[in-house]
Homo-oligomer: A and B are copies of this chain.
């Protein structure tokens, strides 16, 4: 049996039109002679699985305390409900379908509730129903321990379910369906010329994901790649081939290696950031003060980023929503910080930039040409980060995208 795994996010299920488009992709796969296995996320569960969920609101209205085990059990209902809706859609289009929970699909995990890891997959029930002619829909994001307790997989969970099922079923491919054409060189809402990458490496995906791009979860890619199952990110709305995820630096099944010479993969951004500048004096005293500042922030549980240690002062960023708390902690420790809230971090990501001269020069040139003030700039082997004011963010993304000719 030639399985293909198709994963749809909750946004693909919110109305009848979208569901029909998703169902058509599934039916097309069936009519090409494949056995489609469908993985769905909960409706209204986006990046953060706990953000928008009505089930969680239901309980948290009254109670703050809920054990992780029960939270996972509650959360698992979200994917069951959206899976049922997908089954109903397929049935109404004349294609018999069944829903399997993560447990029924044999997704066996450890017992780290809310971020469980898949230990193995026992897909006998998937195979059985598929052999009987059903389209099998699997509730993503969830599994079960060897003891029979229901778990959830945390961020990117449904992608991971799809990849793990792809491996267990030795699928022809795992297709992650989304509302854009694939993995994009930049957010198409900001950059009109943004285009889908034909091929992307695992490394590049990890870096893009880390810098705020909405791509497939790295864990899912890792699982699929270990067993050589092709994984693609594709659009529910078009027939374009989407972005193929491949191993680093190697041509995949005859595809020309277009990633080898690529300096920059994409431009990403994260807004809602506040920059802090704290004077610390010079010399040995300055080093002591540095330690005091960072220890005070660590004790207060404030996560900091974009750290620059300079002779007279330190620079760092925090998320806007902890800016006030950060000011208080610093003042209580005896400092008078300077703060700029409403900043954004714009990143140029590319595994290929390592050892290539002139990348930072290009970036600085592109931004200054547009009169964008660079508040801070750091770099690593694979990424250049620039801190700008929020109002300059879109302009900066567009300028960098153009500078590296990503739309061509």
Contact = CB atoms under 8 A, between A and B. Distances in A.
Interface stretch (A82-90, A155-163, A172-180, A386-394): A82-90
A148 B77 contact: no
A16 B59 CA distance: 11
B16 A62 contact: yes
Interface string A82-119: 00110111011000111101011000000000000000
Interface string A59-94: 100111111011001100100110011011101100
**Chain A residues touching B, range:** 35 or more
Contacts of A63: 85, 88-89, 91-92
Q: Is chain A's binding surface mostly helix, strand, loop or mixed?
A: helix
A62 B125 CA distance: 28
A257 interface: no
How many copies of the chain does the oligomer comprise? 2
A256 interface: no
A284 interface: no
A149 interface: yes
Contacts of A87: 66-67, 70
Contact of A84 (B74, B98, B104): B74
A361 interface: no
Contact of A64 (B67, B92, B104): B92
A96 B65 CA distance: 10
A74 B66 contact: no
B65 A92 contact: yes
A129 B88 CA distance: 37
A59 B99 CA distance: 14
Nearest to A77: B77
A148 B104 contact: yes
30 contacts: A19-B62, A55-B81, A58-B81, A59-B84, A59-B85, A59-B88, A62-B85, A63-B88, A63-B91, A65-B91, A65-B92, A66-B84, A66-B87, A67-B91, A67-B96, A67-B98, A69-B98, A70-B84, A70-B87, A70-B98, A70-B99, A73-B84, A73-B101, A74-B80, A74-B81, A77-B77, A77-B80, A103-B148, A104-B148, A125-B148
